[in-house]
Amino acid sequence: MKTARLSAIYLEENLFAERIRIEAIIRPGLPVFRITGTNGRSRDREERIRTALLASGIQFPYCTVLVNLSPADRVKGSALLDLPIAVCLMLAIGVPGLRRRIDRQTLFLGELSLTGEICDLPELAAWALCGADAGFSRVFLPLSAGTRLPQSAVSWIGVRHLSDIIEGQVEQVGLILEPLIRNLPAFEIPDRILRMLLLAAAGKHGLLFVGPPGSGKSVAARLLYELLPDPDAVERRRIIKNGLLFRDMDLTGTRPLRQPHHSITVTGMVGGGTPLRAGEANRASDGLLLLDELSEYDRQVIEALREPLESHEISHNRGGRPGRLPARFWLAATANPCPCGYFNSKGRVCHCSRIHTDKRKQLLSGPFADRIDLQTVYEKGMPAVLRTADDLIDIRRKILRAVEIQRARNGSAYNGELVGLGVDDFCTLADERADRVWLEIRENTISRRRSAGIRRLARTIADLDEASCIRAEDLLEARSYSLPENFWEAPPPLAARLKPRRRA
């Protein structure tokens, strides 16, 4: 009896990678070839594999050949499993020299044709990157697929035919990613708003501008995308992988920018459905999710974003098994405080009813807004300063430095992604004065979540100054990026301010 084992991956719903084990046994008996553990799918697989092996010059054994895929309860219908099964059989048959070249960290990907040719498929590059994440260090795949994948610690090994694997005629492949070049034109922006953009970009903090129409808040929120730090190698590989998994076209590793229309559904925003599809929040992962006119979105859509803002992923239940899709985005949102937009505005009088403003108050001071660390009122006519290309180079340099400091301290997490114990561990206070200010903030802030947000933001302010601990002034500045406490206190109703008309 001859046996062999090989590891492979299976991508459920083309989104979730699962490591599976292939076992092959060749034993004396009737000439039968059976594959079990596919949960009833792909019954024609045996014929395809047998024909491909024969076409590659392998004498198929005239005895009982059994292959099992485990765990057995999953449906493993994809034709992409034909190749690893064929390789596992070749190991069991004892093809000379093959065992030496294959170990447990070797993965085989590709569609096996009847002639033994290894063909490319659109989803193959996504499988390969998921395989790398699952711990495989060498991936054999069709040459054309290898040229789409960024070079990394994993060896991408290009092959054309099953006989290439048998004879060891392989080629190391991989794409060297071009550096991303971004040009930003000069623009005018108020100092305070620019400072908030800088903090949001450096620490991955959520950003919310509330103000009347035409104040420039949408343009400023969009500007955040231009200031985002360039992705490092890990982020870039993740962006490419998500792009492949979610079927987005741009595969250069540029940070995504998603601006969903306010008619979007909950499923469209956070994913869902059968089969499971990614939503805009997933597609914006490692990039910017821009929500213009927040209050126009369905309330449930906004509430659904609470989970990714807290945990940076979205959980889905798939037939009793949990599945998590990434959602590590920067959030920038704008909102009018009322339908006309001039509630509490210096320039004009608001004519809206109390019911409308109360609705927005609930949204912009509720649990969703608590998760947004940077908030301000963006008034019309705030004095703006022209920023030149040199200013922007300087701003980008500061952001990159702050990101480097965070990576050295927090690992892969940005300050804005710290939750729970991470906030206390990494956001240490400098001295007694900072302690006093922090206690005062904690006592006077309505929610614990909001006060944690202030401390995270203070950490980013300190990082921009390259200070090792949070100082009192960092906490005070962080607290200043909130809507004024009395913002929602309505001015007297319009009718009371106007003189009653005399009846004719």
Binding site for Zn ion (CB under 5 A): 338, 340, 343, 350, 352
Task: Find residue 240's DSSP bridge partners.
Answer: none
Smallest gap from residue 363 Cβ to Zn ion (A): 15
The two tokens of residue 472 are 């009192």
- Is 27 or 348 the residue whose CB approaches Zn ion more closely? 348
SS3 150: strand
Smallest gap from residue 500 Cβ to Zn ion (A): 22
Smallest gap from residue 427 Cβ to Zn ion (A): 38
- Is 338 or 399 the residue whose CB approaches Zn ion more closely? 338
Task: Find residue 335's DSSP bridge partners.
Answer: 210
Smallest gap from residue 361 Cβ to Zn ion (A): 12
Smallest gap from residue 455 Cβ to Zn ion (A): 34
Smallest gap from residue 272 Cβ to Zn ion (A): 35
Q: Which DSSP symbol is given to 313? A: E
- Is 57 or 491 the residue whose CB approaches Zn ion more closely? 491
- Is 359 or 409 the residue whose CB approaches Zn ion more closely? 359
Q: How far, in Å, CA of 114 to CA of 110, rounded?
A: 13
Smallest gap from residue 482 Cβ to Zn ion (A): 22
- Is 74 or 356 the residue whose CB approaches Zn ion more closely? 356
Q: How far, in Å, CA of 383 to CA of 327, rounded?
A: 36
For residue 466, give Cα distances in angstroms to 239, 395, 401, 430, 462.
29, 14, 8, 13, 6
- Is 212 or 253 the residue whose CB approaches Zn ion more closely? 212
Smallest gap from residue 377 Cβ to Zn ion (A): 14
- Is 118 or 352 the residue whose CB approaches Zn ion more closely? 352
Closest CA to 194 of 180, 207, 181: 207
- Is 77 or 213 the residue whose CB approaches Zn ion more closely? 213
For residue 323, give Cα distances in angstroms to 272, 276, 277, 283.
11, 10, 12, 16
Q: How far, in Å, CA of 10 to CA of 275, rounded?
A: 16
Closest CA to 49 of 118, 146, 100, 142: 118
CB-count exposure of residue 266 (10 Å: 0-12, 13-18, 19+): middle
- Is 353 or 480 the residue whose CB approaches Zn ion more closely? 353
Query: Which secondary-structure segment (H or E) carries 18?
Result: strand 16-27
Smallest gap from residue 354 Cβ to Zn ion (A): 10
Query: Which secondary-structure segment (H or E) carries 224?
Result: helix 217-227
- Is 339 or 422 the residue whose CB approaches Zn ion more closely? 339
Smallest gap from residue 351 Cβ to Zn ion (A): 6
Smallest gap from residue 337 Cβ to Zn ion (A): 7
Backbone phi, psi, residue 482, to 5°:
-135, 160
Q: How far, in Å, CA of 187 to CA of 210, rounded?
A: 21
Smallest gap from residue 252 Cβ to Zn ion (A): 43
For residue 470, give Cα distances in angstroms to 50, 251, 477.
66, 39, 11
CB of 91 closer than 8 Å to CB of 6: yes
Start-to-end CA distance of the chain, whole Å, equals: 110
The two tokens of residue 81 are 């499993």
Residues 6+ apart with CB under 8 A from 142: 110, 118, 119, 120, 124, 158, 159, 160
Closest CA to 21 of 68, 77, 87: 68
- Is 246 or 343 the residue whose CB approaches Zn ion more closely? 343
- Is 135 or 347 the residue whose CB approaches Zn ion more closely? 347
Preceding omega of 260 cis (within 30 degrees of 0):
no
